[in-house]
Amino acid sequence: MLFRGWGESVDERWPDVATVADHVGVDHLVVTRHALVRQVLADPETWRPDNALDAVTPVPVAALRVLAGHRFRLPPTLANNSTPSHPAIRGIVAEALHPTRVAAQQPWLTGLVRQRVTGLAGALDAGEPVDLYAELAADLPLLVLARLVELPDAPVGAVKDFARAALELFWAPLDADRQLTLAAEVGRFHTVLRDFAATGGGLAAALRADGHSPDVVVGALFFLLVAGQETTSQFLTLLLHRLTAEPEVRAGLRAGTVAVADVVEEGLRLEPPIVTWRRVAAVDTTLGGTAVAAGTSVVLWLARAGRDPEVVAAPDAFRPGQRGSRRHLAFGAGAHRCVGAQLARMEAAVVVAEAAPLLDGVTVVRPPWCPDNLTFRMPDAFVVRRP
């Protein structure tokens, strides 16, 4: 389960908590029930977020040297920060992603998506295959983020390559050769971030002005560029793929009887791009009646919690608006709950509203394929065509 936590083959009868050894023999306490996942997320004193960005495959010395050569460091900033600096850093990031600023991007995004959809509809009408990941979803979140947060002047492709390399380096089972390659990729872009953190305006300047060290500024930009765009493009791809198999939902959208916002929530519940998230036990404690030793890695199975029958009436069915649909934990909960939730929802709503009609009558030529990863789905493509 650990590296394919969304797979259909995952055994239905999981206990509430279970110890599972990973590929290098480290035990993790996997938590499956909604109530227990929530309990952990709501108590950052007992269950700290410090391990959120730890590499699941220990990074060997050779790759560490490559990273060190780029002065790579990821000090506690956002997701992995249980120190007193967290609220202030989070506050500055939240300001940049304020719902008012997010809402102001909606008309621009709608125009861009509409333009792309028109082009893609033409290609589909002509019988051509269309990759909805590459040609629609992949870069949208980064383009929006760049309008909200001042970012280094780097080509979109370079940022995407860096972000995907980081998700693989820290969350995938890997061999040493691959780790070296990824370390070089991540390190290279880290240098770009470090230069930008020293001089950049906007969010970087606000963090500097608040007295945060250059490492913290780099760490915040790193996390935003990875989690703040890659997650959403993954989600858009997975949601569109899911909707190809949900003709009734698409008919409801067309007829106006199904709300776009409800489709987005049901999508987050059933197809979360982040399937697990980690915490570490700070003290000896118990969870769901099981003793947990201090230092235990806890894997919160967010995807499974979204399908908990105690929370949702029809856990595996895509029924927008059903009772419990919005109670998913796709964005986490508590002090570290996703700051970009509003932004991700806005982007998904625009894409569903504009692009769902594209899916009518298509056949899936190539469903999204997702590599082994503890946390992120990372679909690589999603190709459809109209027969």
> Which parts of 261-290 interact with ligand HEM (CB under 6 A)?
272-274, 277
Q: Examine residue 306 and tell whether it contacts ligand HEM (CB under 6 A).
A: no
Least Cβ distance, residue 7 to ligand HEM (angstroms): 18
Task: Show the tokens assigned to 173.
Answer: 């089972």
State how far the Cα of 221 lies from the Cα of 223, in Å rounded to an integer: 5
140-148 and 106-125 helices cross at what angle (nearest 10)?
160
Residue nearest to ligand HEM (CB): 340
Q: Which is nearer to ligand HEM, 93 or 167 (CB)?
A: 93
Contact status: 145 vs ligand HEM (CB under 6 A): yes
CB of 192 to ligand HEM, least distance (A): 18
Specify the residue, 67 or 226, whose C-beta has the smaller distance to ligand HEM: 226
Query: Contact, 187 vs 45, CB < 8 A?
Result: no
Please name the residues in contact with 101: beta carbons below 8 A apart, sequence gap of 6 or more: 148
| Closest C-alpha to 17, from 332, 290, 305 | 290
What are the CA-CA distances from residue 255 to residues 239, 248, 249, 354 (Å)?
19, 10, 10, 14
Among 15, 58, 337, 361, binds ligand HEM (CB under 6 A): 337
Listed residue (175, 206, 189, 18) closest to 96, CA to CA: 206
Token look-up 């009436």 returns 313
CA-based nearest residue to 43, from 305, 312, 298: 298
Cβ atoms of 361 and 386 within 8 Å: the answer is: yes
Instruction: State the maximum Cα–Cα separation within the chain, in Å, rounded to a whole number.
Output: 63
- Residue 223 interacts with ligand HEM (CB under 6 A): yes or no: yes
Q: Is 224 in the site for ligand HEM (CB under 6 A)?
A: yes
Nearer to ligand HEM, 33 or 336 (CB): 336
| Residue 234 tokens, joined | 């993954």
CB of 332 to ligand HEM, least distance (A): 2
The DSSP result for 25-55, as a single string, is S-EEEEE--HHHHHHHHT-TTTEE-TTTT--
Among 64, 205, 333, 362, binds ligand HEM (CB under 6 A): 333
Interface mask (CB under 6 A) for ligand HEM, residues 93-122, using x and -? x---x-------------------------
Range 17-76, binding ligand HEM (CB under 6 A)? 41, 49
- Cβ of residue 353: shortest distance to ligand HEM, in angstroms? 16
Q: Does 137 bind ligand HEM (CB under 6 A)?
A: no
366: enclosing H helix or E strand: strand 363-366
Q: CA 41, CA 45: separation in Å to the nearest integer?
A: 10
- Of positions 37, 53, 67, 79, contacts ligand HEM by CB under 6 A: 79
User: Contact with ligand HEM (CB under 6 A): which of 36, 59, 78, 137?
Assistant: 78
What's the token pair of residue 372?
Answer: 């082994």
Q: At its nearest, how many Å lie between ligand HEM and the CB of residue 184?
A: 26
From 8-16, 61-69, 208-216, 225-233, give the range in contact with ligand HEM by CB under 6 A: 225-233
Q: Which chain residues interact with ligand HEM by CB under 6 A?
A: 41, 49, 78-79, 90, 93, 97, 145, 223-224, 227-228, 231-232, 235, 272-274, 277, 330-334, 336-340, 343-344
